[in-house]
Amino acid sequence: MEAVRRLRAMASLCRQSAAYHPERSWNLLAEAEYWEHLANGKLLELFRERTASSNELAA
């Protein structure tokens, strides 16, 4: 879960930087989307691991 928090923090930092650097905002916002994509992927991975382990316990 810590990895998800770090990835989302990176996305937030990119969005904040975009507000202060309008000339590069399109690039920074694209980078924020990238970090969010990684965070969502990691979250999905964690969910699948937990679901699989709970299914094994139930069997």
pLDDT greater than 80 at residue 54: no
Contacts (Cβ under 8 Å, ≥6 apart) of 14? 28, 29, 31, 32, 35
Task: Say if residues 15 and 29 touch (Cβ distance below 8 Å).
Answer: yes
Average pLDDT over residues 33-52: 95
Task: Say if residues 15 and 28 touch (Cβ distance below 8 Å).
Answer: yes
* Domain residue ranges of the chain, discontinuous segments joined by +: 2-58
Average pLDDT over residues 14-30: 98
- The predicted model scores a pTM of 0.83
* Helix (DSSP H) and strand (DSSP E) numbers for the chain: 2, 0
pLDDT greater than 90 at residue 35: yes
Average pLDDT over residues 40-49: 95
pLDDT band at residue 48 under the 50/70/90 scheme? very high
